[in-house]
Structure 1
Amino acid sequence: MDDRQSVLELEGRLETGPELSTCRERRGFRKYQKNMKHLLPYRPYSIDKYPKEEFPLAYAGCFSCMFYSWMSNLMYKIWRKGVGVLDGIYLSPIDATEQNELRFERLWNEEVKARGKEDASLWRVLLRAIKSRLIITFIFILIVVTFSILTPALVIRNFLDYLTRGDVKFSTGYIYLLGLVFFEGGRSITGALTWIITYVTGIRVRNGFMGLLFKKIVRLKGLKDKTVGELVNVVGNDAQRVYEANAVGPFILVAPITLLSGSIYGVFLLGPWALIGCVIFFAFYPITGIISRITTYLRRKGIVITDKRVRMMTELLTYVKLIKMYAWEKPFANTIADIRSQERVILEKSAYVQGISTGVAYLVPVFSSVATFIAMVASDVNLTVPKAFTYISLLNAMRFSLGVMPYSVKSLSELSVSLKRFKSLLIMEEIEDLKWEVTHEDSAVEFLNANLTWPIVSNPLLNDNEEYGIEHHGTKWKLC
């Protein structure tokens, strides 16, 4: 009877799937409860609620997240004992693979059910998964842009106007100093919160996709035109691209907001002449579009070569005995070296494009200010020192948006390629679940309408005359 009960339990697990009560996905407002606790100014550590092996960010308060003080104890342990202390640390359940895999699987199934496998889009799945966090990131980006624009608009301009009057008091200077500290500190703190939100978003999306892909791979009916090396490359390399895109990609929203607000204040400060610098800033956008296309092209070309190299290495490791027997080490080594040199050329071209984009981004504010001032001086426009330095400070505040924009464009371009590779894997045919039923309690295995042949094997544990055999019951065969 115990064997019968264990068989029924196994059959139930196969039909219902694994027990996931510990990582069940929360729906509605309940899924924000743990994240909302990060808004508390201070959260005392309790070993009953948060084990010491859990990542410290799980119980960090608002101030701890602002100043990254949750890392201090961990960094001190690493400094004293080495990186080995990280071996026993695990992520919070809301950041780990289980919950995020369940969510991405549900969203992907809903997408496939609504539009079909061919028309399903992982972009929509991704946006639905991070919609709330993307809105919060956008709000923090607005706050960062506000602090960046208000620093030159209010503090620096009024302080320079105050200095030109001649009657300077230390008390007034301290007020401007406090104002500068307030706006710059607010920009730095909100920027730090924005980064930590995007980093956690990247971790969750990466873990969700990796869990979804791994679950798909173990249920594939066949690899078709894909190899094991390609699957390893997808789960490893492309999953990292997903993390980088979610960590850096949202900052692409900084550029248009900063440019629009900076242009409005520039026109208010210098008049129509400020539009010259704004036009130079706008001219950088087509350059980023071209860079995005080049990056996507190089990424697609590089993936083909990387898959080829990984496939060759997999064959080398699989058939290493045969290669050693026929002394094929040098031909294989030369082939892999040639493939690696081709891959290196693609990576170098991608690095050159990225370097040119980053360098041009930092030169744009300089060209904008020089072109604007030359046009104003040539037209005999009265350009005062406070206005000139305020405009330069404004352009420097807008520089961050251009500095981060190439990385955002690059990460989103690579994300587009990775999502296409993910989809090609997710729409592959799976193994169908086989449902079975045991009709006799004393049967371990039953075959229906089967033709079987077998040798008679003696059982050493029993008497020499006792043997294994198969009994026939109508159209069924029972192993006894």
Structure 2
Amino acid sequence: MEDVWKLNGLYRPDVVNARFQRNWQKELRSNKPSLFRATVCTYWKFWALAAMHEILRMIVSFIRLITISRLIGFAATYGTEQGDPIEYGYFYAVVLFVMSIEQNVAYRQRWTHAQSVKTLVRTSYMTAIYQKLLALSNDARQKYDLGSVVTHMSIDSENVTTFFEEDSQDMWSDPIHIVISLFMLYRLLGWSALAGVVVMLACTPIMSRIGQIIGARSKLLMSYRDQRMGIMNEVITGIRVVKMYAWELPFIQRINNVRIKLELDIIGKNNVLSAILHSSTALVPLMVLFVTFGTYSLFDNVSR
């Protein structure tokens, strides 16, 4: 094991679990314990670092847009009496180059810290679930089959950590992006920019409904997956009895019924809905641009 790369002490499961358990035990002593609050209290510094780089990336991106606008204006008037000296062009080009590098660096730093949060939170949850499982009594273990435990440790923990990785940052950064972008479009195009807002508002309920359907089907998929894991646990636990009475085919049919007729059916439908949702996400910005500039061109610059 000497040639194996040593894990950073910050990410060791025992260190991560000890740090998380301190806050979780505080929550258990309160009237309304909250797993979310314990997680935030434990890893808020890592999340804050990702948020700081996201803010920096937002600022740099808007500086780039302003610089591009100034550079276009410089190129349009260069060589005329109203044009600026050539030094302005060099300055805009250098600023644009530096801002492009800084935006990429800020994005990579934000992604790195977000991945750190995801890894730490998932490690905490998986370790806590495993410790709880070891401490359960025989009566309590009868209430939880192996399938549900495996689902909690793998699928559920992954879904929760996705929120801390991406969704928690997008919840506050996306509205700021939209507001500032609309403000800049309004200054440039006038009330024609509101046509794009109408398109976004019209598409939002449809995309939200598709997301709700996917979420509901995913919950149903988890229940079927727990059912299949329970059957697999029965087979593995009583493999000698299964072999002695030649029950292989009936158990195979039971597993295939759950896997093929139930799980794969939902997975296929979810994939179709996810494809529609992702296509809509990519199509909506193009529709907004088309409607916004189309409205502006139809009114021949009088909307300002």
TM-score (norm 1): 0.57
Q: 1:238 aligns with which of 156, 177, 185?
A: 156
Q: 2:111 aligns with which of 171, 185, 195?
A: 195
Cα displacement (A) at 1:308? 0.6
2:195 and 2:292 in contact (8 A); partners too? yes
Percent of aligned pairs sharing the same letter: 22
Partner of 1:330: 249
Partners in 1 of 2:274 and 2:264 — Cα distance?
A: 15
Query: Which amino acid counterpart does residue 150 of structure 2 have in structure 1?
Result: V
SS at match of 2:246: coil
Q: 2:270 aligns with which of 350, 355, 364?
A: 350
Partner of 2:76: 164
SS at match of 2:117: helix
Q: 1:372 aligns with which of 269, 292, 301?
A: 292
CA offsets, 1:283-326, max 9 Å, x none? 44434533442232122111100101111111112222222222
Partners in 2 of 1:170 and 1:336 — Cα distance?
A: 74
1:259 and 1:278 in contact (8 A); partners too? no
1:25-424 correspondence to structure 2 within 5 Å: 88-115=4-31, 119-152=32-65, 154-167=66-79, 172-221=88-137, 222-252=140-170, 253-341=172-260, 342-381=262-301
1:259 and 1:281 in contact (8 A); partners too? no
Structure 2 residues not aligned, in runs of 5+: none
Cα displacement (A) at 1:123? 1.9
Cα displacement (A) at 1:121? 2.4
Query: Which amino acid counterpart does residue 161 of structure 1 have in structure 2?
Result: G
1:150 and 1:183 in contact (8 A); partners too? yes
1:199 and 1:246 in contact (8 A); partners too? no
Partners in 2 of 1:347 and 1:103 — Cα distance?
A: 37
Residues 382, 159 of structure 1: CA spacing in aligned structure 2 closer, same or farther, 3 A cutoff?
Answer: farther
1:202 and 1:244 in contact (8 A); partners too? yes
Partners in 1 of 2:23 and 2:211 — Cα distance?
A: 28
Cα displacement (A) at 1:166? 4.8
The count of residues paired between Structure 1 and Structure 2 equals: 296
Residues 194, 363 of structure 1: CA spacing in aligned structure 2 closer, same or farther, 3 A cutoff?
Answer: same
Q: Which structure shows the bigger proportion of residues in helix conformation?
A: 2
Residues 350, 89 of structure 1: CA spacing in aligned structure 2 closer, same or farther, 3 A cutoff?
Answer: farther
SS at match of 2:11: coil
Cα displacement (A) at 1:138? 2.0
2:47 and 2:113 in contact (8 A); partners too? no
Cα displacement (A) at 1:362? 1.4
Partners in 2 of 1:270 and 1:349 — Cα distance?
A: 41
Query: Which amino acid counterpart does residue 201 of structure 1 have in structure 2?
Result: V
Cα displacement (A) at 1:172? 5.0
Partners in 2 of 1:310 and 1:150 — Cα distance?
A: 53
SS at match of 1:218: helix
Residues 289, 380 of structure 1: CA spacing in aligned structure 2 closer, same or farther, 3 A cutoff?
Answer: same
Query: Which amino acid counterpart does residue 345 of structure 1 have in structure 2?
Result: D
Partners in 2 of 1:297 and 1:257 — Cα distance?
A: 29
Cα displacement (A) at 1:377? 2.3
Cα displacement (A) at 1:113? 1.4
Residues 280, 139 of structure 1: CA spacing in aligned structure 2 closer, same or farther, 3 A cutoff?
Answer: farther
Q: Aligned Cα RMSD in Å?
A: 2.5
Residues 127, 285 of structure 1: CA spacing in aligned structure 2 closer, same or farther, 3 A cutoff?
Answer: farther
Higher mean C-alpha deviation, range 243-252 or range 101-110: 243-252
Query: Which amino acid counterpart does residue 208 of structure 1 have in structure 2?
Result: S
